[in-house]
Amino acid sequence: MQKIISYIFILTFIFTTYLHAEESKILKIGNEKANITVKVFSSLTCPHCAKFHLNIFAKLKTQYIDADQVLFEHHSFPLDLAALNAEKMLRSVRNKEKSFQLLSKIYENQNQWAVGSDIVKINKSLKKIGLEFGLKNKIIENYLKDENIQDQILNERIKAQKNYKIESTPTIYINKKKYEGDHNFKSFKKAIDKLL
């Protein structure tokens, strides 16, 4: 009996450690114990995702995230190789605040780097954004080549598709409910305020 209990304990520990490791790969900012979690599934080459982020995130951060009322999660859902590579570069930043600053830069400059089909040119434009942000060239190169990070991102995309039935980007969830409102701060604020 003691052996069975020990075995169950070890399995539970491994399983919860694995879950925590999987969850920790999601880019998030805010109070982990907040009553409201906003999950945004987006592709960094998607103009609608850029619009949502640029119109809503900064105000949401000031009014709710920094006030510990909302936990915000960016879930990568790349629709093409360019978006995948942008996500890989984004993962090279360890600091949460800086990660979201780089995410904003990537979206702000989307019209400059996410154009055409030449991935070499796209990567060069991405690296320029990263270098201007203060990243080291070698680190960017390493992350762009890293197949483990690529697999990690693609596995997250597969799980998101399975668990959240993503049909388009961005797909936004506030807690467990899909947000269907307009992509402006006024509408989004109403949805948040209802839950406070």
Domain count within the chain: 1
In terms of residue numbers, what domain contains 127? 2-193
Q: Are strands 177-178 and 171-174 parallel, antiparallel or unpaired?
A: antiparallel
Under a CB-based contact definition with an 8 Å cutoff, are residues 141 and 81 in contact?
no
Contact 144, 123 (CB under 8 A): yes
Q: Please, are residues 172 and 52 in contact by the beta-carbon 8 Å criterion?
A: yes
- 121-131 pLDDT per residue, tens: 999 999 999 99
pLDDT, residue 98, reads 97
- CA atoms of 106 and 55, how far apart (whole Å): 14
Instruction: Please tell me the least confidently modeled range out of 11-25, 165-179, 182-196.
Output: 11-25
- Alpha-carbon 89 to chain mean position: 12
CATH of the domain at 96: 3.40.30.10
Number of residues written out for the chain: 196
pTM of the model as a whole: 0.86
Burial class (CB in 10 A: 0-12, 13-18, 19+), 183: middle
Question: In whole angstroms, how large is the CA radius of gyration of the chain?
Answer: 18
* pLDDT score for 77: 98
Q: What is the mean pLDDT of the chain?
A: 90
Closest CA to 173 of 83, 97, 75: 75
pLDDT digits (tens, 9 = 90+) for 4-60: 444 433 333 333 333 333 445 799 999 999 999 999 999 999 999 999 999 999 999
**Strand-by-strand arrangement of the 27-30 sheet:** 27-30, 70-76, 36-42, 171-174, 177-178
Angle value at C-alpha 43, between 192 and 53, nearest 5 degrees: 35
In tens, the pLDDT along 63-105 reads: 999 999 999 999 999 999 999 999 999 999 999 999 999 999 9
Evaluate whether 21 touches 146 at the Cβ level (below 8 Å): no
pLDDT at 10: 39
Digit-coded pLDDT (tens) for 104-123:
999 999 999 999 999 999 99
